[in-house]
Structure 1
Amino acid sequence: MTSQSTLTKEGDLPGTPGQSPSPDGLKAGLKNRHLSMIAIGGVIGAGLFVGSSSGIAAAGPAILLSYALVGMLVVFVMRMLGEMAAASPNSGSFSAYADRALGRWAGFSIGWLYWFFWVVVLAVEATAGAEILEGWMPAVPQWGWALIVMVVLTATNLVSVSSYGEFEFWFAGIKVVAIGAFVIVGLLAVFGVLPGSDNPGAGLAHLTDAGGFMPNGAGAILAGVLLVVFSFMGSEIVTLAAGESENPRRAVTKATNSVIWRVGFFYLGSIFVVLTLLPWNDKSIEEKGSYVAALDSIGIANAGQIMNVIILTAVLSCLNSGLYTASRMAFSLGERGDAPKAFAKVNAKGVPTAAILASVVFGFVAVYFNYAYKDTVFLFLLNSSGAVALFVWLVICFTQLRMRGILLREAPTRLTVKMWLFPYLTWATAAMITFVLGYMVVDEANRQVALLSIAVAAVVVAIAVTREKFFPRPAAATVPAPRDEEVEPVSGV
């Protein structure tokens, strides 16, 4: 039986709040405040802080349009995912829904690709965090810091889901407060009302005074899309975590409805501030990083160290959520018979210990490759997982096209969140994602990532189809249909 596959009346999980068991043994240890912060902070990855300068260099002020296009895709995809997750909260999220709507091969393939993506991310983020920590305390070697960070966050996830939620609440909270403060202080400086600002030239004129709004042409907007698209990965985590919350349906609904302002404020808002505080071609943006350069321009002391603290927090948040996400996907695959049965077992606290340990072991292996074979093995791992975000979004689109009909037949009252302009907007979103994938193939800088990712995906799909043909799944491991029950309306849908 899959997580939360048998639906209950609103209240969702019976028993004591915060400790109630779900049908599969997971426990509802995530509180509403945990889910709220995971939803808000999940869309803010370390890539926003680190990668935005390269996007600005490629497209100039028009990078705002790149962020807006990708943000629009994320909003649409999250709306589709929210429709399915609100109807049937599940620890396997889109993988379980794909299994039900498209077939076992789809759930198997996208589940394992997603798991692969996150265990590689563990290595990337552990190394990034270790570099910052080594700069502060060089007595401990970089590999030592990477090991310490991984061990601490593994222990956190092994204790209970509530300990993961608590750590993520504070990690995400720091990110949210930092970006919020940056946007507010930056806007005050832009409009000349920040006391003591050292940037008298700040203003909207910077959007056009260095070669126009599109200094590198309209085509650079698409190049910008490829640079920023992967910094949005993570917004879907809340739909996996909802299955272990006090009220899964309400949590998913709130997260889905708030994604527009989250993308608008944190991404578009902060990049707008950078572009209006400095000309897009200011050398300090690439030399120091876009956010540090912007803070320096208005006279914020120790801007570099402040940003290092924030980036470290974002890295730890990504590591924490990455390990949680990988383990829950492995758990869901184990439940459905698509991974070792041990992955689906939980301890007395409702923690899938084997799934966590298996994920972190592969994470440690990836960290080792990052140090020992950075330009060979690890580069292959990095490139071959690079387009997984787009694969996930595409599968969500096709799954929702099928799941809408299934839900209307089997549980129409569960459709409390609905995708706008269905099915036209769903098809349009799928077409846009396909176009971005196609553009990656023809773009020289991204061709290797696209082709390797497609090749690895093809191998996984081939394995899935072969398994489905020769090793049929036991009936007990199938994904049950949702049960139609009366539910209370959720406001704001």
Structure 2
Amino acid sequence: MIAIGGAIGSGLFLGAGGRLNSAGPALMLVYAVAGVFAFLVVRAMGEMVMHRPTSGSFVSYSREFIGEKAAFFAGWMYFLNWACSGMADVTAAAVYVKFFYPNIAQWIPALIALAVVLAVNLVSVKIFGELEFWFAAIKVVTLVAFMVIAIVVLIRRTQVAPGFATGPQLIFEHGGFFPAGLFAVLMILQGVVFAYAGVEMVGVAAGETDNPRKVIPKAVNSVGWRIAIFYVGSVLLLVMLLPTSMYSSAGSPFVTVLSKLGIPAVAGIMNIVLITAALSSVNSGLYATGRVLRSLAFNGSAPRVLGKMSRHGVPYAGVLLTGFIYLIGVFLNLKLPHDAFEITIEFSAVGIIGMWCMIMIAHLAFYRATQAGLLPRPEFRMPWAPYSNYVTVAFLIFVLAMTWFNGKTGRFIIYSLPVIVLLLVAGWFACRKGVERIRQEGGAHHHSHSPLE
């Protein structure tokens, strides 16, 4: 549930509207292609978890199979991803609340949302898991309900908008499958990758599962078919109900359809779901970064204080640091209400791309070690390795390169890449000695078998 909750978020509920408008029905093709790569990332992750479950997740796998520098890079890229997407989601939650209280200042609900989620994360892992389960359940139930309504509408051939008959012909009637051409389709890749971010959560959560070797294969494979049903399926239904030009980035495409059908109170209900979707994302982000920062601190790649644990097994220092960064997001809402969301999402995508590449490269190193007979290869394997590793990394780099064409925010992102690299290099030099010392003391992860490593 945590992985699927991570994968179904504002990216689908809110982001799909603008993408349908700009790329047309071809959006489902993009979701399908990106979905295949997201699935491969999760499978690579799953295979390494089967080899050795840990809540340090891909950071400790990068360390084990490549080395300290790789672990440093993977951990901080992950932090960049969640720090930025958390800011975006705190913003999103505030925007949705304004639907009910239009006159409230945007930073107030953002602050309240952050306070609630932070409190939950600091109390215990059990409450986090419980809350996340219900958040995810609300999202899944909503999507299923929407799909059932959509299928009934299609079977009964009910018109959603006057003058447009519903059905498969809509996909091809208004400008065809690629109404804005192929380039428009390539342009939305980054946003779609952002929509899938969070699927790797299954690997982070695995370290705290009772019986990971039994649970993980099931969890990982289910992520695959759920992506297909929820993402590709819901977009397929959306394009058979209305011409894609009738969707827009201003609102959720689901709300667009349901309100046109005249279902009462739909906008209010959908908004509550959108708020839980955003909160669930902030919740997952705090959970994941807390664990990853602890893993980094444990090995000297982050200040030692971030390794502190509470009695209830919560890495509270790391959680608090992330919470503090989300607070910056609240202030961005004050200063740049519109740009804040776009910029944080694009930066978040840079973090995701860096981290997914690291997962693939770590898996490649792991695969080579198994081929050399140094490690046994688990039964649960990533398909078509090592070729799938190369293709996935190439795809991700291509997605990053496409950012350049994305107006001024896109260029801003590309120009800031050297800055990110410089910060990472400077950070590495700052903590290199500490890392070396801890390694010589034998404090490296793969020697310790503490349950909370």
How does the TM-score come out when normalised to structure 1? 0.83
Q: Is the 8 A contact 2:107 2:333 kept in 1?
A: no
Q: 1:323 aligns with which of 257, 262, 286?
A: 286
Larger helix fraction of residues: 2
Distance 2:173 2:433 in 1: 64
Once residues 377 and 270 of structure 1 are traced to their aligned partners in structure 2, the CA distance between those partners, rounded to angstroms, is 28
Residue of structure 2 equivalent to 1:296: 259
Amino acid at match of 2:204: L
Report deviation, 1:201: 1.6
State which of 350, 355, 364 in structure 1 corresponds to 2:313: 350
Q: Write the letter of the residue equivalent to 2:355.
A: V
Q: Is the 8 A contact 1:119 1:363 kept in 2?
A: yes
**One of 462, 465, 477 as aligned partner of 2:443:** 477
Separation (CA, whole Å) in 1 of partners of 2:408 and 2:227: 26
SS at match of 1:339: coil
8 Å CA contact 1:79, 1:419 repeated in 2: yes
Cα distance in 2 for partners of 1:186, 1:374 equals 34
Instruction: Show the counterpart of 2:426.
Output: 463
Partner residue, 1:202: 166
Show the 5 A alignment for 1:148-297.
148-192=112-156, 201-282=165-246, 284-286=247-249, 288-297=251-260
Q: Which amino acid aligns with 1:216?
A: A
Q: 1:397 maps to what in 2?
A: 360
1:312 partnered with 2:278: no
- Alpha-carbon distance in 1 for matches of 2:356, 2:32: 17
- TM-fit CA distance, 1:442: 4.7
CA shift for structure 1 position 342: 2.2
| Residue identity matched to 1:99 | R
After superposition, the Cα gap between the structure-2 partners of 1:60 and 1:373, relative to the gap in structure 1 and judged at 3 Å, is closer
- Of the structure 1 ranges 202-211 and 344-353, higher mean CA displacement relative to structure 2 is found in 344-353
C-alpha distance in 2 between matches for 1:193 and 1:443 = 38
Residue pairs, 1:5-154, within 5 angstroms: 37-137=1-101, 141-154=105-118
Indicate yes or no: 2:383 matched with 1:425.
no
Q: 1:354 to 1:286 in 2, by over 3 A?
A: closer
- Contact 1:96-1:332 within 8 A present in 2 as well: yes
Alpha-carbon separation, structure 1, partners of 2:356 and 2:177: 30
Provide Cα deviations, 1:217-271, integer angstroms capped at 9, x if missing partner: 2222212323322111111112111111212233322221112211101111111
Tell me: CA distance 1:456–1:143, structure 2 relative to 1, closer, same or farther (3 Å).
same
Write the distance in 2 (CA, Å) between the matches of 1:337 and 1:185.
53
How much has 1:373 moved relative to structure 2? Answer: 5.4
Alpha-carbon distance in structure 2 between the residues aligned to 1:314 and 1:377: 19
Describe the shift of the 1:209–1:389 C-alpha distance in structure 2 as closer, same or farther (beyond 3 A). same
Q: Which amino acid aligns with 2:29?
A: L
Distance verdict in 2 for CA 1:81–1:446, change over 3 Å: farther
Offset, 1:102: 2.0
Match for residue 18 of structure 1? none
The amino acid across from 2:119 in the alignment is: A
State the one-letter code of the partner of 2:444.
Answer: T
Instruction: Quote the Cα distance in structure 2 between the aligned partners of 1:170 and 1:379.
Output: 28
- The residue number in structure 1 matching 2:302 is 339
- How many Å separate the matches in 1 of 2:318 and 2:330? 18
1:323–1:356 CA contact under 8 A, matched in 2: yes
* CA contact 1:104–1:468 (8 Å) conserved in 2: no
Quote the residue 1:23 is aligned against.
Answer: none
Cα gap change, 1:209/1:140 in structure 2, threshold over 3 Å: closer, same or farther?
A: closer
Counterpart contact for 1:189–1:298, Cα < 8 Å: no
Q: Following the alignment from structure 1 to structure 2, what is the Cα–Cα distance between the partners of residues 446 and 455?
A: 16
Deviation of 1:452 after TM superposition, in Å, equals 4.2
The answer for the alignment partner of 1:10 in structure 2 is none
Q: TM-score, normalised by structure 2?
A: 0.90
Alignment match, 1:15: none
How far 1:107 sits from its partner (Å)?
Answer: 0.9
Paired amino acid for 2:354: F
CA contact (8 A) 1:109 1:464 kept: no
User: Taking structure 1 as reference, are residues 132 and 338 closer, same or farther at Cα in structure 2, changes over 3 Å only?
Assistant: same
CA contact (8 A) 2:15 2:249 kept: no
Deviations 1:366-423 (A, max 9, x none): 322332356899976665444111111111111111012335644416x132111111
Could you tell me how far apart the structure 2 residues matched to 1:382 and 1:431 are? 22
Q: In structure 1, what is the Cα distance between the partners aligned to 2:4 and 2:193? A: 18
How far 1:298 moved relative to its partner? 3.2
Given that 2:160 and 2:166 are in contact with CA atoms closer than 8 Å, whether structure 1 keeps it comes out as: no
Q: Which runs of 5+ in 1 are unaligned?
A: 1-36, 484-493
Structure 2 gaps of 5+ residues are none
Return closer, same or farther for 1:442/1:75 CA change in 2, 3 Å cut-off. Answer: same
C-alpha spacing 1:445/1:260, structure 2 compared with 1 (3 Å): farther
Once the 2 structures are TM-superposed, how far is the Cα of residue 62 of structure 1 from its aligned partner?
0.9
> 1:127 & 1:288 partners in 2: Cα distance?
15
- C-alpha distance 452-258 of structure 1, shift in aligned 2 (>3 A): farther
